[in-house]
Amino acid sequence: MISEKMMQITENSSAIRAMFEEGKQMAAQFGAENVYDFSLGNPNVPAPAEVKAAIEEIIRGEDPLMVHGYMSNSGYEDVRAAIAACLNKRFATGFSEENILMTVGAAGGLNVILKTLLNPGDEVLTFAPYFGEYRAYVSNYDGVLKAVEPDTATFQPNLEKLAQMITPKTKAVIVNTPNNPTGVVYPEDTIVRMAKILRDKEEKFGISIYLISDEPYRELVYDDAFVPYLTKYYHNTIVGYSFSKSLSLPGERIGYLVIPDEADDSETIIKAASVANRILGYVNAPSLFQRVIAKCLDAKVDVAYYNRNRETLYEGLTKAGFSCIRPEGAFYLFMKSPIADESVFCETAKKYHLLLVPGSSFACPGFVRLAYCVTYETIVNALPHFAELAREYNL
Amino acid sequence: MISEKMMQITENSSAIRAMFEEGKQMAAQFGAENVYDFSLGNPNVPAPAEVKAAIEEIIRGEDPLMVHGYMSNSGYEDVRAAIAACLNKRFATGFSEENILMTVGAAGGLNVILKTLLNPGDEVLTFAPYFGEYRAYVSNYDGVLKAVEPDTATFQPNLEKLAQMITPKTKAVIVNTPNNPTGVVYPEDTIVRMAKILRDKEEKFGISIYLISDEPYRELVYDDAFVPYLTKYYHNTIVGYSFSKSLSLPGERIGYLVIPDEADDSETIIKAASVANRILGYVNAPSLFQRVIAKCLDAKVDVAYYNRNRETLYEGLTKAGFSCIRPEGAFYLFMKSPIADESVFCETAKKYHLLLVPGSSFACPGFVRLAYCVTYETIVNALPHFAELAREYNL
C-alpha cells in the first residue's frame, strides 16, 4: 500500500540504528554499566564550553526574530562568510560566502548535492567499506551507487579498481577521510593520484566527475595525521562538512557544503543546491545553531579523550588476539571477525554484552566496527569481556 | 550536466523567495522603513518569553550529551509523550508517543510522509490556491500533484470537484486550514462532508486515501474561529504540525507528524516514516529545540498583534477599493488583482515599494497574497501607498 521502495528499505533498515534501540533495551535490562555498546557514533565527549557560552550570548544579546527567523535558504550571510574566512585561513583556499551553503548536518548536505547533481541512472562510486546510508542517499535520487572493492590489508582506496569502474555515466565519487568505519586517513599522495585519475577520465569521456568529500571527522585525527583539503587537489571537489563530531552536536543537525568557484557549472550548482535545500523540506539549516557554530569555529572537542580510548582499545583488542586496523582518525575501529560470517560473531559478542556492528552494514563482510566514542571506563570494563570472547574463538 | 529536474525547478524557482531576496535589496537601496514587504511568511512577533527561558533552563540544567546528542530517529520519547498528552487534552484524542514523529518543521514532515506513502505515478490532490512547495514535495517522490479548482467566491474547498477527481491512483489529499494563502478556515461541516467523500471513494475503489493536514497555522485564528482536529473526523488522517508560526521559530525547523493508530497500515507507516526521516538526511529533528518546545506546549505568540494587523489591513484595502477575502486565520490576506494578469499588478505595486506575491505562485492567477506578519507601522505606512496604487487602477 505504501511506497514499495520504502517498504524494502524499512525491512532492511539500518543495523546500526536497530542496535542502538537494542542497546537501550539491554541497558534497561542489565543496567547501563553492564552493557558495552560500541554500536553508534554518538559522541560521548561533551560539546566544548564555547557552545554553551555562545548559546547564552546569542539568546541574551541578539534579536529573537533574527535568531529564530527565516533567512536565505543558503543560510545567514555573516555565518557563511565566517566559515569561508576560517577555511581560507586554515587551508589557504579562496572561498567567499557564495561558496558556502548551510545544511542540516552532513547527511542533509549530501542529500542536497546528490539531488542537485543526479539524473536517474547516474552512477556514484564510493570505496568499500562505506557508511551504509550513502546507498539510500543515492537511491533517493534514482542514482546507482557502485562500491569499489576494499583493499582489506590497508583499507586505503583501491585506485586501480576506481579507474576501471569509471564510465561515461559516472557523476560523482564519494570519499570519507578520516573514514567511517575504518578510521584510516587518505594520505596526500593518494589524493594526488586519485585527482589525476578523475581528471584523465573527465577528459577521456568529456564529462564532469564531482568528488564529494564527506568530512564529519576532519577534526578528529591522532598523531598529527595530515588530512589534505581536497578542493586544493581537484577542481570538481564538493565538501560536505558537519559539526556533529567536531563540536559534539550530532542531534542539532548543523553542517555546510562547500561548492568552489572552480567546479564545473559552479554558479548553477550553487543556485540549484539552495533550491534543493528548500524543496527537500530542510528549508534552511537550524538558525540558532548557524549562529552558534559561527562563534565556535576555533573550538574543538577534547580529542585527547578519544585518543586515550583509541589507544587503550586497540592495544587491548590486539593483546586479546584480535586483528585490527589501527585508526588514525574518527572514533571507529575496524576489526577482523574471527569467523567469516561476522553477523554470527556479533550475535556471539552480545552474550558478553558487547554490541558491535557487522561489516556487512558497510559493504565489507568479515569485519566488525567498534565506535569508541564511549566512556574510558566502558573500554576498560569491556576489555575482559573481549578477552573472553577471544577465548571462545581460540584466539 | 546537473539534474535536469533540478534545472527546471531552479529556473522556475519560488517567486516568494525571489521576492524575499529582492525585498532585502530594495531595503538596502531605499531604507527598510520605505519598503513595504508583504512577501514572506516570516513571523514578526517574537517567540514568547517561555522559549528563551526554556533554552536557558535546558542548557544550564541538562546534560549536554543528551541535549545535543543523537536520539531515536523519531525524536525523544519524553518530548513525543508530552506532545501526545497535550493533543489528547486539547482535542480528546487518544495518542501515545508512538503516534508522534518529530520532524524538521512541517516541510520536513510533509516530505517524510510523502516519501513514505508515494509510489511513482501516485496522485495527490490539493485545493487551489495552495502553497506552491507542495508541487515540489510531491514531485520529489515522483508523485503527481493535481489541484482542485478554487471557488473564488469563498475559497472554501470545492468538494464536488474533489469527488470527481479522485481515482484509484489517488493516494493522498493535502489540506491546509487555516489556509495559506487565503486565510480561510474550513468549518466543521465541510470537514464532515469531505470525510464522507473520502470514505466513500476508499470503499468504491478499495484503496486507502490519506488526508494530510498541513497545520502550521493552527494556533493563529481570530474571532474564536473553530479549527476541527481532523483525525477525529476521518480515520486516515495524518497531521503535519510546525512550531514555526505558533512559537515564531521558523528558522529552527521544528515540527512533528501525527500518525494515528486508526490509520490503515499505521504500524508500517510509523516505522517507515522514521526510516524516511533518517534516509532523507534529516536524521532527526533538531535536538535542543525538541526539548524547548516540550516546555512551551502551552505557550503562544501574541496573536492579538496579528489580529490588529489583519483588521487594519483588511479595512484599509477594502476602503481603498480593493476586493479582499476576509482572513479568519494564518497571517495572509488574499486580494483580487484589479487586472487579470496579477504579475503585472505586482510589478506596478513595486513602484510604490509594495511587495506582493502573485497568486500564480499558489495556482490561483488573478489574485495576490499579502503576508501581514509585519510591524503594525508597516501596515499603517503602507496603506497610503495602496491607496495610490488603487487610484492608478481607478478603483
- CATH number for B248: 3.40.640.10
ipTM of predicted assembly, 2 dp: 0.96
CB B116 within 8 A of CB B276: yes
- Closest Cα in chain A, distance from residue B271 (Å): 7
Residue A372 confidence (pLDDT) above 80:
yes
What are the residues facing A325 on neighbouring strands?
A: A334
Q: What is the CATH number of the domain that holds A362?
A: 3.90.1150.10
Q: What is the pLDDT of residue B339?
A: 98
Contact B288 A284 (CB under 8 A): no
Q: What is the DSSP letter of A231?
A: G
Out of B7, B116, B271, name the one closest to residue A272 (CB): B7
Residue type, A370: L
Residue-by-residue DSSP string for A107-128:
HHHHHHHHHHHPPTT-EEEEES
Domain identity same for A352 and A234? no
Longest alpha-carbon distance in chain A: 64
CB A355 within 8 A of CB A37: yes
Out of A63, A107, A288, name the one closest to residue B283 (CB): A107
Q: Which residue from A299, A316, A334 is spatially nearest to A376, judged by alpha carbons?
A: A316
Query: Chain A residue closest to B282 (CA)?
Result: A108
Domain identity same for B127 and B35? no
Residue A238, H or E segment? strand A237-242
Domain identity same for A64 and A130? yes
Query: Chain A residue closest to B71 (CA)?
Result: A251
Query: Chain A residue closest to B52 (CA)?
Result: A59
CB A323 within 8 A of CB A335: yes
Domain identity same for A216 and A270? yes
Number of structural domains (chain B) is 2
Average pLDDT over residues B43-67: 97
Percent pLDDT > 90 in chain A is 93
Interval A233-255: pLDDT, tens: 999 999 999 999 999 999 999 99
Sign of CA dihedral A176, A177, A178, A182: positive
Q: Is A252 on the interface with B (CB under 8 A)?
A: yes
Q: What is the pLDDT of residue A203?
A: 98
Residue B30, H or E segment? helix B15-30
- Closest Cα in chain A, distance from residue B392 (Å): 33
Q: What is the pLDDT of residue B3?
A: 95
Residue A14 confidence (pLDDT) above 70:
no
DSSP three-state, residue B103: strand
Domain identity same for A188 and A82? yes
Residue A15 confidence (pLDDT) above 70:
no
CB A175 within 8 A of CB A184: no
Domain identity same for A154 and A232? yes
Q: What is the pLDDT of residue A173?
A: 98
Q: What is the pLDDT of residue B325?
A: 95
Give chain A's mean pLDDT. 96
Q: What is the pLDDT of residue B22?
A: 85
Q: Which of B248, B276, B294 is the last residue of a domain?
A: B294
Domain identity same for B189 and B306? no
Average pLDDT over residues A190-199: 98
What are the residues facing B335 on neighbouring strands?
A: B324, B368
Helix-helix angle A49-61:A287-294, to 10 degrees = 120
Poorest-confidence range of A87-101, B38-52, B192-206? B38-52
Contact A248 B65 (CB under 8 A): yes
Domain identity same for A157 and A288? yes
Interval B10-26: pLDDT, tens: 887 766 767 777 888 89
Contact A115 B40 (CB under 8 A): no
Chain B residues 50-79 with a CB less than 8 Å from chain A = 51-52, 55-56, 59, 63-65, 67-73
What are the residues facing A334 on neighbouring strands?
A: A325, A369
Out of B2, B67, B251, name the one closest to residue A68 (CB): B251
Out of A20, A265, A281, name the one closest to residue B137 (CB): A281
Residue type, B311: E
**Phi then psi dihedrals of residue B335, to 5 deg:** -125, 140
Out of A64, A69, A269, name the one closest to residue B42 (CB): A69
The whole-angstrom separation of Cα B176 and Cα B214 is 5
Domain identity same for B130 and B66? yes
Q: Which of A265, A294, A323 is the last residue of a domain?
A: A294
Q: Buried (b) or exposed (e) across B206-229, using 16+ Cβ within 10 A?
A: ebbbbbbbbbbbbbbbbeeeebbb
Q: Which residue from A199, A10, A109 is spatially nearest to B274, judged by alpha carbons?
A: A10
Q: Which residue from B294, B285, B250 is spatially nearest to B75, judged by alpha carbons?
A: B285
Interval B257-310: pLDDT, tens: 999 999 999 999 999 999 999 999 999 999 999 999 999 999 999 999 999 999
Domain identity same for A219 and A263? yes
Q: Is B353 on the interface with A (CB under 8 A)?
A: no
Q: What is the pLDDT of residue B292?
A: 98
Confidence band, pLDDT 50/70/90 cuts, at residue A24: confident
* Residue labelled with grid coordinates 523519531: B74
Percent pLDDT > 70 in chain A is 99
The whole-angstrom separation of Cα B108 and Cα B101 is 11
Contact A3 B59 (CB under 8 A): no
Chain A residues 166-195 with a CB less than 8 Å from chain B = none
Interval B101-154: pLDDT, tens: 999 999 999 999 999 999 999 999 999 999 999 999 999 999 999 999 999 999
First to last CA, chain A: 50
Domain identity same for A259 and A332? no
Q: Is B12 on the interface with A (CB under 8 A)?
A: no
Residue B253 with chain A: CB contacts under 8 Å = 104, 253, 282-287
Q: What is the pLDDT of residue A312?
A: 98
Residue A83 confidence (pLDDT) above 90:
yes
Chain A residues 255-284 with a CB less than 8 Å from chain B = 264-265, 268-269, 271-272, 275-276, 278-284
E-strand stretches of chain B: 36-37, 100-103, 123-127, 144-148, 170-175, 210-215, 237-242, 255-258, 332-336, 354-355, 357-358, 367-371
Contact A251 B64 (CB under 8 A): no
Q: Which residue from B226, B122, B303 is spatially nearest to A5, judged by alpha carbons?
A: B122
Average pLDDT over residues B341-353: 96
Contact A107 B55 (CB under 8 A): no
CB B115 within 8 A of CB B269: no
Give which of A8, A22, A65 to mutate to test B binding, by max B Cβ within 10 Å. A65
The whole-angstrom separation of Cα A63 and Cα A59 is 8
Q: What is the pLDDT of residue A231?
A: 98
Residue A11 confidence (pLDDT) above 90:
no
Q: What is the pLDDT of residue A20?
A: 75
Out of B9, B136, B286, name the one closest to residue A252 (CB): B286
CB B43 within 8 A of CB B216: no
Q: Which of A266, A294, A322 is the last residue of a domain?
A: A294
The whole-angstrom separation of Cα B210 and Cα B238 is 7
- Closest Cα in chain A, distance from residue B76 (Å): 11
**Phi then psi dihedrals of residue A286, to 5 deg:** -50, 130
* Residue labelled with grid coordinates 538558525: A287
Residue type, A257: L
The whole-angstrom separation of Cα B83 and Cα B95 is 9
Confidence band, pLDDT 50/70/90 cuts, at residue B1: confident
Domain that holds residue B310: 4-47+302-392
Q: What is the pLDDT of residue B162?
A: 98
Q: Buried (b) or exposed (e) across B238-266, using 16+ Cβ within 10 A?
A: bbbbbbbbbbbbbbbbbbbbbbbeebebb
Mention every residue, 6+ apart, whose C-beta is less than 8 A from residue A221: A178, A185, A227, A303, A328, A329
Q: Which residue from B239, B200, B211, B199 is spatially nearest to B93, judged by alpha carbons?
A: B239
Contact A56 B52 (CB under 8 A): no
Domain identity same for A318 and A266? no
Interval A107-149: pLDDT, tens: 999 999 999 999 999 999 999 999 999 999 999 999 999 999 9
Neighbours of A242 (CB within 10 A): 27
- Closest Cα in chain B, distance from residue A277 (Å): 11
Q: To 5 degrees, how large is the angle CA A37–CA A177–CA A321?
A: 45
Give which of B11, B56, B68, B271 to mutate to test A binding, by max A Cβ within 10 Å. B68
